[in-house]
Chain A
Amino acid sequence: MCFKNLPIEFDAEGKPFLRAGVADPYGPSTATPRGAPAQLTAERIEDLLKRNGYIKDLDFDPVTRVAGALAFHTVADFKGRKVLEARSMATLFRGYEVIMIGRDPRDAIFITSRACGVCGGVHSVTSAMAIEMAIGCVPPPLGILIRNIALALEFLYDHPLHLHLLAGPDYSAAMVGPTNPSLLARARSAQAPHAEIHGFRTIGDLMEDLNPLTGKLYLEALHMTRVAREAYVLICGKYPHPQTIVPGGMSSTITLSVMNEMFTRLAQFFDYSKKLAAIWDDLTEFFYEANPAYKQVGARRANLIDTGIFDHHEAYDASYAGATAWGERRWATPGVIMDGQLVTTDLHALNIGVEEFVEHSYYEEWSGNGQRQHFPTDPVGNPLSPYHPWNKVTKPRPQGQNWKEKYTWDTAPRWDRQSMEAGAYARLWNTAVAQKLPANPFIEATGTSLKLRLPKGALPELELEWKVPAVWNAFERNRARAYCTGFTALVAMNNWLAAMDRLKLGDTKTSTPFEIPKRGEQRGVGFWGAGRGYLTHHLTLDRGAVANYQILTPSTWNASPTDRWQQPGPYEEAVLNTPLLEETEDPAKFKGIDILRAIRSFDPCMPCTTHIHSDAGVITREVNTCACGVDDDGG
């Protein structure tokens, strides 16, 4: 029984159905999320601001060191050292869904890739998978293996980038010094427990080398992004927008020489992963020990969702009917974690529980007002909400900003009406707890942890163990992402070995021919993942052209606004729970470092979130909705 809010039950065979006697099963009052935190009302916040001089607006516009255009509004109580209101704003409309309408579905592989300048390949693969499902095209084993390796390499670009170029500076001496001088002083004399792995004697030394632009860890991360890119382009042609991903596999020519060149680069990530885990273990434990209140920075309920990723080459059949089976054989298990407990690993259950709401978003409702729900069920007869992506229609409606009404270009995706978080860490958590990982020599899921056996490099062979955390916060997100680098490298290694076996057998086939049907209606969904987690593309074809295309990215989940039930989105919830631990008494000197740590720990990617297009044309950098002056005129 994985649904607690939606009236969906399961029969003896495990098939979901809508509970009988519910007149409006997806009505807002039928299924109200229970136990979720709620934002204070706008009226209450206005009252507090008027009556208390120590309560002030604190805005971050833009939030820097994130991908794309994100603004964040808070109301902070400088006396109580807490945040009273948090509003996440995607300030840029893109609208890839609108661009895709009427096109040949194969265009989606190249067009949706442009949704992101970090990880375009994930969109290419997800769209290829949606097409494969719609037209019934199954890639050959080597095609699946190479696709897995390619996308693992993309994540090996993404994780170091986030850890040491975007989030890392928040923990550097250059940042900690001005905001928390006593903490930096303590760090300078704190021995680093894992010095033999990462090479830094004290936490202070480590913080120095996290300094932006000059720190060795910052510069090393820049270098490692190159190593990953070099390996990636061997099979994908170019980065970040691959040229070799096709429905039915990959168009790359794979030879032993390509495999070997790729391996020399992949192998560099074994040692680097050991260092990353050691660094983020030491940093995290240092902060916890220095002040246990850091455990509250970015804290929220452990409600996580992930589609799983990296298909087993003997399991994936591209069908929706088979998704439960092939999903559970993935190298990263799909799943939903609710309040820290795994509630499903079934891609069907995951899919039918997804809804997207736009009450606080610059879009028009597409449901209701007598409009037909296009698909009442999924392809195997399971019930679907009118708010499900296969039923969603993107109807942009720019307007003024108002917390009571609309304030972002992001939508509010919910699963079972709950605000869910996506991330590389959901990948680890599901996989660790579900224990459905394919047999392999490198990664072991114990039920409470993931053991990662990283081969010898310049550093000796090392077994890392990522443990399901007791608290869920900004530090644990970063720590998990560090471990996920090792996990990803080992998934790539497993797939590399399997691909070598195929090549030794003389199997060099990487793709399956296909034709786009010119008649009838078909639909498909790509269940895949970005470096930041959950990614789906829901596709409907009509007579060979795209009739509907819906992209749901990790940052769409994470940056989502407050929903119709006043339930905040994940960034908002995490910031509302964040204590202000900065050592300044003067609000004018306040940098908001704890709030920024909370937000950046999610690895925000706003270009993906709002997927750049307007009626007038393509926008490459322009931010077209400013967060300044919000509510000035109430609309």
Chain B
Amino acid sequence: MRVIVAGVGYRNLRDHSVGVVVADRLLDRSWLGDVVVEDLSYNPIAVMQRLEDEPPERRFTRAVVVAAVERGNRPPGAVRAYRWDGVLPNDEEIQRAVAEAVTGVIALDNTLVVTRHFGGLPDEVVVIEVEPGVQEFGEDFSEPVAKVIEQVCDLAVAMATDAAAAARLPSTGLGGALPSVAGNRLG
């Protein structure tokens, strides 16, 4: 079992930096299992190529991906964790994701769609989303997001190290169109 905990987001973009900050905070942590922490906040095609670089016997079996994503249907600071069902959109949408990837858009959905389509992404993907409140330059989080950031880190650790806990999450499409996870409603 080899797990990658990945942050996706933008640096210095306040709440939209959640993924990057979580990756930074977990980077030096000592792990019991074979866990790798990386900031995957770059062109999803390059992310796919980086994941595919792992030799077959070292391929990741689970990815825990953390990001701030503005879904607009939940309050700022809301945390949603789910197992992505891996269902891809139609080819036209995938093409659009590729075009956005190679032209510089860094976003959770794009990263997951592109890496799933071309390979590289493990079968088991746990997504931890945080609803951002603000989108502007800066290093600090808004209050609702600042309140949950430690707990998001703890949740990422739990999902990386506890296979049974990860397996109990609901399996959904992107965005986790389900109520927030019972017991993991943070903040």
Binding site for B on A (CB under 8 A): 64-68, 116-118, 120, 161, 165-166, 169, 212-213, 222, 225-226, 229, 239-240, 605, 607, 616-621
Contact = CB atoms under 8 A, between A and B. Distances in A.
A212 B103 CA distance: 16
Specify which of B92, B94, B95, B118 lies most central, judged by the most chain A CB atoms within 10 Å of its CB.
Answer: B95
A127 B19 CA distance: 30
Contact of B137 (A64, A165, A617): A617
A118 B49 CA distance: 17
Nearest to A62: B96
B23 interface: no
Nearest to A166: B99
Interface in B86-104: 91-92, 94-96, 98-99, 102-104
A243 to B, nearest CB: 13
B91 A213 contact: yes
B99 A620 contact: no
A118 B103 contact: yes
A607 B107 CA distance: 16
Nearest to B94: A213
Contacts of B51: none
B57 interface: no
- Which of A116, A120, A605, A620 is most buried by chain B, counting CB atoms within 10 A of its CB? A620
Contacts of B104: 67, 116-118, 120, 240, 607
A184 to B, nearest CB: 18
B135 A620 contact: yes
B22 interface: no
B46 A229 contact: yes
Interface in B121-148: 134-137
B117 interface: yes
B60 interface: no
A618 B135 contact: yes
B135 A165 contact: no
Contacts of A117: 43, 103-105
A213 B98 contact: yes
A165 B13 contact: no
8 contacts: A66-B103, A67-B99, A212-B95, A225-B102, A239-B46, A617-B135, A617-B136, A618-B135
Contacts of A65: 95-96, 99
A631 B92 CA distance: 30
A116 B43 CA distance: 13
B10 interface: yes
A365 B105 CA distance: 32
A212 B46 CA distance: 18
Given A117-B103, A621-B107, A169 B95 contact: yes
A64 B95 contact: yes
Contacts of B16: 620
A620 B103 contact: no
B171 to A, nearest CB: 25
Contacts of B135: 617-620
A156 to B, nearest CB: 14
B142 to A, nearest CB: 12
Given A67-B103, A118-B104, A225-B45, A618 B98 contact: no
What band does the interface of chain B fall in when counting residues whose beta carbon is under 8 Å from A?
A: 20 to 34
A213 B117 contact: yes
A617 B10 contact: no
B18 to A, nearest CB: 14
A463 to B, nearest CB: 31
Nearest to B93: A64
B134 A617 contact: yes
A485 to B, nearest CB: 16
Given A222-B45, A621-B107, 19 more contacts: A65-B95, A65-B96, A66-B103, A67-B99, A68-B103, A116-B104, A117-B43, A118-B104, A166-B99, A212-B95, A212-B98, A213-B91, A213-B95, A226-B45, A229-B46, A239-B46, A605-B103, A619-B135, A621-B105
Contacts of B134: 617
Contacts of A239: 43, 46
Residue among A120, A229, A605 with the most chain B CB within 10 A?
A229
A263 to B, nearest CB: 21
Closest 8 CB pairs of A and B: A117-B104, A617-B136, A67-B103, A65-B99, A212-B95, A161-B102, A118-B103, A226-B49
A380 B124 CA distance: 65
A65 B96 CA distance: 6
Contacts of A607: 103-104
B45 A620 contact: no
B100 to A, nearest CB: 9
Contacts of A67: 99, 103-104
Nearest to A238: B42
Contacts of A616: 136
A581 to B, nearest CB: 22
A117 B92 CA distance: 21
B154 to A, nearest CB: 27
B118 to A, nearest CB: 8
Contacts of A240: 43, 104
A65 B91 CA distance: 13
Interface in B1-60: 10, 13, 16, 43, 45-46, 49
Contacts of B102: 118, 161, 165-166, 222, 225
A605 B49 CA distance: 24
B108 to A, nearest CB: 12
A620 B136 CA distance: 9
A617 to B, nearest CB: 3
B107 A618 contact: no
A68 B100 CA distance: 8
Residue among B103, B104, B118, B134 with max Cβ neighbours from chain A (10 Å): B103
Contacts of B103: 66-68, 117-118, 161, 605, 607
A621 B136 CA distance: 13
A226 B51 CA distance: 13
